[in-house]
Structure 1
Amino acid sequence: MGVTCQILIDRPEDGAFKAGRLVTGTLKYFIDKPTKYERISMCFLGKGDCEWTETDAKNTLYYQNKEKYINQIVNVYVRRKSEDFISGGFEYPIQFLLPIDIPPSFYDKICTIEYKIIVTFAKANSFSKKNFDVRIPVTSYVNPCTLEPITFGLKKNLSFRINNKINVKGEISKTCIKPGDTIHMTLTVNNGTDLAVVIKTELIKRLTYISKGNHKKYHEEAVKNTCTISTVAANAVANLVCLASTYQDLFSIQHAKVMKGEYMIRLKAKLPFPHANALLDIPVVIGQRKHELIAPPAVYYEYNREQPSTSAMLDQNNKYRNEEDLTKYEKEDLNEDSAKYIKEVNGKGIVQEEI
């Protein structure tokens, strides 16, 4: 039978551990007969991996990337004497501190971001090792991508005549929201043309996978039940209120080099043929802000050279002492990627023109 092991994790109420917080639990293991072990260790490992292939007419190209977010190792037992044998049942407390700047857990066919506790039993005078592991679900904070509220505009000229154009002005009160909250958007549509125009808004999810050489692969899809459609008559003005409800399982993915997970409100002015439609993407962020995740004091293990039943732990000063420091840090770390979507006007607005 050898060794049996249980990694018992104290699950939080919402089912996932938050960045900057402690992961706690108990390691239980039983060795049925006296055995020489060189080392028994626990490793808290967080890593991201992505890989995919792309095929053209002649070649198949392979892309990949990987990174580590955390790699903490605790020695539960280290052999001191050549005659040391151990057997019986033992317990050891689990306590690891998650870093703040990490992405959340994520899994799909291309990319995996995961966190694990791995327990390794390495026998003495042998290459034989036995591993046990358990996945740790993690959620992380997000940085806002724009100032709030944000104003934006969309213009569409059907000809060079001054009065033959469509002008849409809008505002989103909050662009950084918690999962499950609703995005509120107000629009004023001035249709100065002789055609009816259809105004459509929808929440879009975009995943960007990034290889080691910075080659990117994109996947985009509309979030279900977030679409609003309104028709504005010719030569008319309409005031619209558009709502996009999010879900508890929606979250932006930041702080990773292997991928990004972004959301945007897509505003579209749809016109009859042969006129081209006008389109504007307004970035939004879904998740908890950094100042809402204040980390407790860090802890680490001190090996006391005895087979454990309990552990000794020491406090460290918390890197972030108060909410004010975190809020300041958050403001300095605004998402620079929003520049690809928007042009800022007067410090808080975006405008896009279509001719």
Structure 2
Amino acid sequence: MDSFGIVFDSPNGYTPGQAVTGQVVLRSFEEISARYLKICIHGAAHTKWSESEHRHRDCNGTDESYTEIVNYSAEAKYVSGETVAWTARNGMEKLPSGHHVFPFSFPLPIDCPPSYEGFHGHIRYSIRVELDRPWKFNKKEREYFNVIPNFDLNYLPYGNMPIVMKDSKDIGAIFKKGLVIINVSIPKQAYASGEYLPITIDIDNTSKRPATCVRAELHQHSHYNASRNAGLFCTHSSYHEHHKDETKRVSETRKNVKVAAKSQGREELRMKIPKLAPSFQSPLIGVEYCLSVKVDTETSLNNTLHVEFPIIIGTVPINSAQTIPEVVPTAPILLTESEPSSISMIPVFPSARPVSTVYPPAVPDTDYSSIPTIPVFPSARPISTAYSVVPETNSSSIPTIPVFPSAPPQFGRTDSLPPAYSGPASSAPTDNDESSFGQPPSYEESMSVTKI
């Protein structure tokens, strides 16, 4: 086997609700003895960490303390499916030499969270292919792909409003040097990767020491949930639920200044937002951001003033020329049918591209008597074969679509959090479940037209 790999049609990533499409490419200069070729999709969140817990026990009437290492872990599955792209008939068929292409298409759920890598957990999506070979180890390959949600900041309430924070301090420890007041402002709260975040710092220095430095740091706060009993995370129970937090600096900028004693000054900083995972909340992992601005003074102790801003990171930047729709502070934005929605609708997946030879997916209990037999290819020269792979829809493995608000709420308030992603639903109605649907309309009702 000369080469065996997975190629995605969209290497930069996919959005929730979109179809993950690509090809499994196999090239061989010899015939390959194999039973089947299977393609699988998998996407899940996983958290794991260990903690030391001090415990006591009775040892021959003596209270003895000891340390126990406790492991916490959890997993939430968001997408899972497989399809057999090729199978041997009666166990006698071989893959001929040449170039083989097996296209695949798997739909993503509309509510899956973005890809994320953290110290105590991750959210990963992958395509795995396995070629079953008799009397040999199976040939396996796995490729990861990114899921990037369409988090449009234009529909975020208050996302384009400026924020001002204030701090004051009588600097010095024992011998006070005087009062310093700072007013820090940013033009908006929501940003996308690649944008610049301008920071304005007004310093009112009434102390006896100058201000010497202004600095800003963007922090990423990750929150992890897990349970002591490893297994599938259950959102309906908080028994044995534990939390772990992680904070890391993702960007920083600083500037040396000199605002003299008994004077005032204005300083400006400019920070570029790096490529980051958007703000989100899910049952196991949540990510939010905070901007920390500090002003240092020329004293040895108690010399730093500090303010913090909650920052929301999205994928679609705010258009400054766009008019912000009016909203009621305690209610989400309601979009009319004529207004665009920030939540992507499920696209219509195109059919597979034309191929020279089409093989249906292997489905259990399927009558293949009406399917044409596989053509016999000459072994004298290599061939190029394409296989169409369209997985059968399994309603029990795909979560139902949750109800999303008309706009992502604002970060930092109880009624304004980053977009939340629900876990997979426990079940979905099957095609034979008539109790979930009403009676079909009559012919006259279906042909009637309601006049507006």
TM-score normalized with structure 1 length: 0.69
The correspondence for 1:134, drawn from 119, 127, 143, is 143
The correspondence for 2:292, drawn from 257, 262, 266, is 266
Q: Which residue of 2 aligns with 1:347?
A: none
Conserved in 1, the CA contact under 8 Å of 2:214 and 2:255?
A: yes
Alignment of 1:137-216 (within 5 A): 137-142=146-151, 147-158=159-170, 165-198=179-212, 200-212=214-226, 213-216=241-244
Shift of 1:120: 3.9
Conserved in 1, the CA contact under 8 Å of 2:167 and 2:307?
A: no
Q: 1:268 to 1:312 in 2, by over 3 A?
A: closer
User: CA separation in 2, counterparts of 1:298 and 1:201?
Assistant: 48
SS at match of 1:329: coil
Q: 1:253 to 1:184 in 2, by over 3 A?
A: same
1:334 aligns with 2:331: no
Shift of 1:219: 3.0
SS at match of 2:406: helix
User: CA separation in 2, counterparts of 1:11 and 1:147?
Assistant: 30
The correspondence for 2:280, drawn from 254, 268, 288, is 254
Unaligned runs of 5+ in 1: 343-355
Shift of 1:278: 3.2
Q: 1:240 to 1:34 in 2, by over 3 A?
A: closer
User: CA separation in 2, counterparts of 1:10 and 1:97?
Assistant: 14
Q: Which residue of 1 aligns with 2:265?
A: 238
Q: 1:65 to 1:288 in 2, by over 3 A?
A: same
Question: After alignment, is 291-300 or 108-117 more displaced?
Answer: 291-300
1:7 aligns with 2:34: no
- Name the aligned partner's letter for residue 330 of structure 1: A
Q: Over aligned residue pairs, what C-alpha RMSD do you find?
A: 4.3
Shift of 1:211: 3.1
SS at match of 2:257: strand
SS at match of 1:180: coil
1:227 aligns with 2:254: yes
Conserved in 1, the CA contact under 8 Å of 2:104 and 2:390?
A: no
User: CA separation in 1, counterparts of 2:140 and 2:146?
Assistant: 20
Shift of 1:7: 2.3
- Name the aligned partner's letter for residue 173 of structure 1: P
User: CA separation in 2, counterparts of 1:101 and 1:185?
Assistant: 35
Shift of 1:183: 0.3
1:76 aligns with 2:118: no
User: CA separation in 2, counterparts of 1:255 and 1:86?
Assistant: 49
Shift of 1:142: 4.1
TM-score normalized with structure 2 length: 0.56
Unaligned runs of 5+ in 2: 55-66, 172-177, 227-240, 318-340, 352-359, 363-367, 375-385, 393-399, 417-452
